[in-house]
Amino acid sequence: MDTQGDKVTKSKFAEFFVLIIFGFIVFTTMLLVWSNMDRDLPNFKASEVRTALRGVILSEDNYTLAATKRLYEISIDTRNLDPNKKELFIKLYSIYSGDSEQSVRTAIDKKNGSVVLSYRIDSKQAEHLRSLAKTLLRLGVFKSYQNPQDGKVIFNGMDVTESGEMRIYPYKDTLEPLIGYTNKVNIGRIIKREGIKGIERYYNDRLASIQDSYLVGSRDVSNTIILNRNIQAKEGIDGQGIQVSIPLKFQKAVENMLDEYKQKLGAKEIIAVVMKSDTGDILSLATSNRYDRNNVKDISLMNINAVEYTYQPGSVMKPIIYAILLREKKVEPNDIVNIYGGKYKLGQFWIKDEHTFDTNWVSAENVIVYSSNIGIAQLSQRLDTISYYKGLMDFGITQKSQIDLSYENTGYISSLNGEVYKGNVGYGYGLHVNFMQLVKAFNVFNNDGFIVNPKIAAFIIDKFGKKHEIGYDPKASVLSENIAKTIQKTLIKAVDIGTGTKAKVEGITVGGKTGTAEIRKDGKIVGYDSSFIGFTNDSQGAKYTIGVLVIEPSRSYFGSQSAAPIFKEIALRMIDEGYLKKN
């Protein structure tokens, strides 16, 4: 039987138990209420976009010619900045960012609200500034404030967010304007890059990034997303890379050479092309007129004049016309041509030869070797208009060279009707071409009669770094192998004893043709374009087609005096670099 004390104890225990149950019910009810309340609390969810990057451009010897780095934006809300710790913030931020204290102070004092302190912070700086952001929170540099309009409590520290990308070119003006340049494209708040000229433009669809990555998840007090299994993520896909067939070392050597000759000749510009004869792969495409992409002062330097500048080619056209004549069986190398003592009237116009001959009669072959305007003007008359025009088209004259560059200017032919027009085109007047067309045409002579398209890019590089070879366009036969060999022998003779002797290199086979063309304005000669185009072969089977164009030299304007020596210097450099081997 229970005592009075036991009854009291049980009663107290019952009251305590009821109290616990009541407290639990109240706590549960409050949780339910709070969970459904629209509270003015900070949002602890955050998203982070990480931009996919534009692809790299590499040289043949694996140097990075163009790359992309991420840029970050640094911002604060000045209403969250404790006035008593403003100077501390300014000092620390300036140390980490490299910005001057005065510029930071000016930005903060200028606006009461959200302020962007920098748009151009790189990845390394961004990591240091994220670390600083956490330190600033621990130091109490930022504090919450209540919006007087809606009563919401707002707390922001220093935000480090991605703002876009910047294209960088480690070797400044090297390989320009060939590599080209990009412009900014704003996609929302993110800055991307788009190719405008050169390789950057032609392969823009390959180089351009495909898909940005993003993260959505809970954030900590420093606005950093907490990486756990609850985050939402999408993988980024960068742009593909491009590797060109041009080695950086050799390209730089040719560029330096052209710089020196530009000074020596007082030229407006000098362009050089070196191409593998069997494949069309470009070993060098260089100019004396380059620009640093970070400091462009002359916009005309952005043009790739190997394909954008058109001119009257002069005597380098003669081997092409001679080849068409041989193909059409309108001439034989030993046919005799009367050159009339170096002066000949064609229609109403007089034609003169620069080279003097001991006799009035020369072979058709020697018309090319010694570059007789009178001889080729007469031989040209043997072609009917259709055969003449078709022959030029087959050689790619006034047609796109199909090189992987944009904005190619194809040029034009005035006419092929009548003896005057036929004669003029025969020695390189009455038509405008670009330099790459001529190099491509001359390559036929060193490639057994086949024409191939010049090509700069060699590989596409995927996201795993694997290289995929870019295929070659089908080659087409323009001449029989026998005719191509005949032209080869003629061009070798032109270097051995004709107008191209200054291009000769001992120990390798060299053939080529000089060209000098007047530039006229209002009927007056205002300048000259000089050139030498030919080939260099060795006994090991290496075959290259090389062209040099000197635009408006003020000294030594004949192709034999200006372009031929440069051709020789390039060939000698190729021997030094191991591309050609002496016998």
Decide the pairing of beta strands 509-521 and 310-311: unpaired
Question: Which tokens go with 555?
Answer: 């000294």
What pLDDT score was predicted for residue 31? 53
> Any idea where the domains of the chain sit in the sequence?
48-212, 248-577
What pLDDT score was predicted for residue 37? 45
What pLDDT score was predicted for residue 7? 56
d(CA 108, CA 123): 24
Instruction: Count CB neighbours of 519 within 10 A.
Output: 14
Amino acid at 96: Y
d(CA 553, CA 524): 17
Angle at 349 between CA 343 and CA 350, to 5 degrees: 15
What pLDDT score was predicted for residue 344? 94
Indicate the angle between helix axes 435-443 and 318-327, nearest 10 degrees.
40
Look up the CATH architecture of domain 48-212.
Answer: Alpha-Beta Complex (3.90)
d(CA 444, CA 400): 16
The answer to whether 265 and 296 have CB atoms below 8 angstroms apart is no
Query: If DSSP states are collapsed to H, E and C, what string results for 156-172?
Result: CCCEEEEEEEEEECCCC
Residue 177: asked if its preceding bond is cis (omega within 30°), the reply is yes
Nearest to 310 by CA among 169, 484, 436: 436
d(CA 20, CA 42): 33
The residues that bridge with 285 in the sheet, in sequence order, are 273
Question: Which tokens go with 64?
Answer: 């990075």
3-state secondary structure of 195: strand
What pLDDT score was predicted for residue 512? 98
What pLDDT score was predicted for residue 358? 83
In degrees rounded to 5, what are phi and psi of residue 424?
A: -60, -45
- 299: Cβ contacts below 8 Å, ≥ 6 apart: none
What pLDDT score was predicted for residue 297? 66
d(CA 502, CA 564): 6
Decide the pairing of beta strands 241-244 and 57-58: parallel
d(CA 26, CA 377): 110
Superfamily of domain 248-577: DD-peptidase/beta-lactamase superfamily (3.40.710.10)
Please tell me the pTM assigned to this model. Answer: 0.85
Amino acid at 110: K
Q: Which residues of the chain have pLDDT under 50?
A: 1, 33-43
d(CA 574, CA 434): 25
Question: Which tokens go with 32?
Answer: 């339910």
